[in-house]
Amino acid sequence: MNYYEGEIRQALKAEFDGGSLIEAGDAMDVFRLLESAYPTSGSKIDWARVPDAIQCVDEIGPDRSGRFVEFFVEICNSLRLTGPVLYVGDHSPDFAIAASVETMKKVLPVLLEIPQHHFLVGPNGSWCFCLTMEGDIDFGRSAAPPPS
């Protein structure tokens, strides 16, 4: 377990113990799902090729994570996104974290403290949010059929 995994487990201990957050397999499985569901350029989602993607560039500053949480809440509410959400980061933890949209809204500030690219992925990769270290905030829906 690396430093950030320990910090996440400690900060969200009540949620893990209570079952509202679940360790949901290897993060690499989620990245493979994203690669099959979205066009890529190198190791990143090519948001310019995702139909109707919403892309924002946010100032890198003290409230960057707050702006991403607002964006997540706004899009989830306006598009009525439901179902389990998988959280992965490109550095830590090595596992995916599953939660409901409502729980994810509450725990995102803790997860976003880790300096890395962050991904929130809907059922079967049907939708995805991304916050990059460079300050890009993206959302899109997959045009690819769900993997079987």
User: What DSSP assignment string belongs to 40-81?
Assistant: EETTEE-GGGSTT-EEEE---STTHHHHHHHHHHHHHHHHT-
Q: Is 147 inside a domain boundary? A: no
Whether 74 maps to a domain, the answer reads yes
How many domains in the chain?
1
pLDDT computed for residue 121 by the predictor? 97
Q: In whole angstroms, what is the distance from residue 29 CA to residue 20 CA?
A: 21
**Do residues 74 and 68 make contact, with C-beta atoms less than 8 angstroms apart?**
no
Compute the average pLDDT of residues 33-39. Answer: 94
* Phi, psi of 140, deg, nearest 5: -160, 165
| Residue 21 within a domain | yes
**pLDDT tens track for 70-114:** 999 999 999 999 889 999 998 877 899 999 999 999 999 999 998
d(CA 99, CA 16): 10
147 secondary structure, DSSP code: P
Asked if the structure places residue 148 within a domain, the reply is no
pLDDT at 148 over 60: no
Whether 146 is in a domain gets the answer no
Q: Which domain holds residue 65?
A: 3-141
Q: Does residue 41 lie in a domain region?
A: yes
